Amino acid sequence: MRVLHVITGLDVGGAETMLARLLEHGRRHPHLCSEVMSLIAPGHGGARIAATGTPVADLGMSAGMPSPRALLSLARAIAVRRPDVIVAWMHHAQLAATLAAALARPWLRVPVIWNVRHSVADLAEEKPLTRLVLRTQALLSRGARAIVYNSHAAADQYRRLGFRAPDQRVIPNGFDIVTPVTRAAARATLRDRLGVDSGDGPLIGMVARAAPMKDVPNLLRAVAMARGQGLAARVLLVGKGMEEHPALAPAAFGLPEDIVIRRGHRGDVADWLGGLDLLALSSAWGEGFPNVVGEAMLAGVPCVATDVGDSAKLIGDTGAVVPPRDAAALAAALVRLGTLPATQRVALGERARARVRARHDIRDVVDRYAALYRDAARSTPTARDWARARA
């Protein structure tokens, strides 16, 4: 079966990471022959996908709404490749793939699956162009053979926005649960690398882009509050834009410069996660199923996250979940977990690891995607399918 993955871009993000994992573990289903097409030039994420041996191409589009020229280029690519199914990742690619598939083979429509990775609790939070794309997608969603969401929260929200398809499913993200992580060694290595002494208190990390939806300032406000409540902790911020973003200067939050360690994008960030004492994710909106939380849990690190997307379902009782934009609640959670005796925090991390291993094995996720592709390629929507879509 030929599967063409169309994605808006291949930089660093949750969608790109999950696509890479599916391709890395695709040998479980050797009948699947995959190819990836990016609307814009690939970034950091392109190399990881290319390393799987999967062909990667790009249309050289500019960021923004797909142009008629780009749609025609994508339509020609589809006509040449003749895929059995198209999987479109992220909003702009979903719009482009649906229109291009109709142009490419109007006499024999290629089934298009929309892969939604983003939650939309409030449409007003999104950029004007994204709001326009979402409204257009709602009108075109009946043209998708299936919509797959990586979180239950997103599935509910998009249905309320008017997204309809004859087949709608939730397939959460998966993780490589086989790779061993040596927690104590990772902690010692990271602290040595950063110059953090054992007496400096817990090391709290956040791994994310310095984007408004991640609400990093809220974390820094919470850390300042937590320090006022007696939590002696260091903070590590890692991700694109973290190192140089002027709004994240510690002094702006009343924090000493040496308390906050900032680093930019790193390709080896997974090796750093196991060295943290706590992982924090302070997103205000937009998360679907946060990969970094699952990765930290798998490394045995307790997590504190805001209640956005499926973070609460992922963490369960192995960490803490607080309302978004509530610095006081976030501070209280950091104090509660940060002041636990080390043995109790390690035990909590082990429960987190066990939870991910039991629920989010990438092998199971790959199998569910393979079944989705098969169903989309083989079936034609029935009256019952459309009745479910309208419900």
Q: So where are the chain's domains?
A: 2-174+362-390, 183-359
Identical fold, 2-174+362-390 and 183-359: yes
Average pLDDT rounded to a whole number, residues 248-257: 96
Q: What is the pLDDT of residue 383?
A: 47
pLDDT bin (cut points 50, 70, 90) of residue 46 is confident
Question: Measured between alpha carbons, how far is 56 from 114 in angstroms, rounded to an integer?
Answer: 19
Q: Which of 99-103, 109-113, 140-144, 233-237 has the highest mean pLDDT?
A: 233-237
Q: Identify which of 131, 81, 130 has the alpha carbon closest to the alpha carbon of residue 101.
A: 81
Average pLDDT rounded to a whole number, residues 142-147: 95
Q: What angle do CA 324, 325, 327 make, to 5 degrees?
A: 110
Question: Measured between alpha carbons, how far is 344 from 104 in angstroms, rounded to an integer?
Answer: 58
Backbone angles phi, psi at 39, to 5 degrees: -65, -40
Question: Measured between alpha carbons, how far is 80 from 182 in angstroms, rounded to an integer?
Answer: 47
What are the Cα distances from residue 340, in Å, to 299, 335, 347? 18, 8, 11
What are the Cα distances from residue 204, in Å, to 99, 171, 189, 305? 45, 30, 15, 12
* Domain 2-174+362-390 architecture: 3-Layer(aba) Sandwich (3.40)
Q: Which residue has the tokens 């479980």?
A: 28
Q: What percent of the chain has pLDDT over 70?
A: 94
Q: Are 314 and 297 in contact (CB under 8 A)?
A: yes
For the cut 50, the answer to whether the pLDDT of residue 386 exceeds it is no
Question: Measured between alpha carbons, how far is 306 from 67 in angstroms, rounded to an integer?
Answer: 36
pLDDT bin (cut points 50, 70, 90) of residue 13 is confident
For the cut 70, the answer to whether the pLDDT of residue 107 exceeds it is no
pLDDT bin (cut points 50, 70, 90) of residue 180 is low
Q: What is the pLDDT of residue 221?
A: 98
For the cut 60, the answer to whether the pLDDT of residue 298 exceeds it is yes
Q: What is the pLDDT of residue 182?
A: 65
Mean pLDDT of the chain, nearest integer? 92
Q: Are 35 and 58 in contact (CB under 8 A)?
A: no
Q: Of 250 and 107, which is predicted with more confidence? A: 250
The three-class DSSP label of residue 304 is strand
Helix (H) or strand (E) segment spanning residue 58 = strand 56-58
Pairs from 378-382 (Cβ < 8 Å, separation ≥ 24): 381/145, 381/166, 381/167, 382/166
Q: What is the pLDDT of residue 213?
A: 96
Q: Which two tokens stand for residue 197?
A: 């002494």
DSSP one-letter code for 175? B
Average pLDDT rounded to a whole number, residues 208-222: 97
Q: What is the pLDDT of residue 381?
A: 54
Amino acid identity at 314: L
**The pTM of the whole model exceeds 0.75:** yes
Q: What is the pLDDT of residue 178?
A: 77
pLDDT bin (cut points 50, 70, 90) of residue 271 is confident
For the cut 70, the answer to whether the pLDDT of residue 179 exceeds it is no
* Domain 183-359 architecture: 3-Layer(aba) Sandwich (3.40)
Q: Are 345 and 300 in contact (CB under 8 A)?
A: no
For the cut 70, the answer to whether the pLDDT of residue 246 exceeds it is yes
pLDDT bin (cut points 50, 70, 90) of residue 331 is very high
Average pLDDT rounded to a whole number, residues 363-388: 80
Residues 6 or more apart in contact with residue 366 via CB below 8 angstroms: 22, 25, 26, 28, 29, 174
Q: What is the pLDDT of residue 385?
A: 53
Amino acid identity at 355: R
Q: What is the pLDDT of residue 160?
A: 95
Question: Measured between alpha carbons, how far is 35 from 24 in angstroms, rounded to an integer?
Answer: 13
Q: What is the pLDDT of residue 376?
A: 96
Q: What percent of the chain has pLDDT over 90?
A: 78
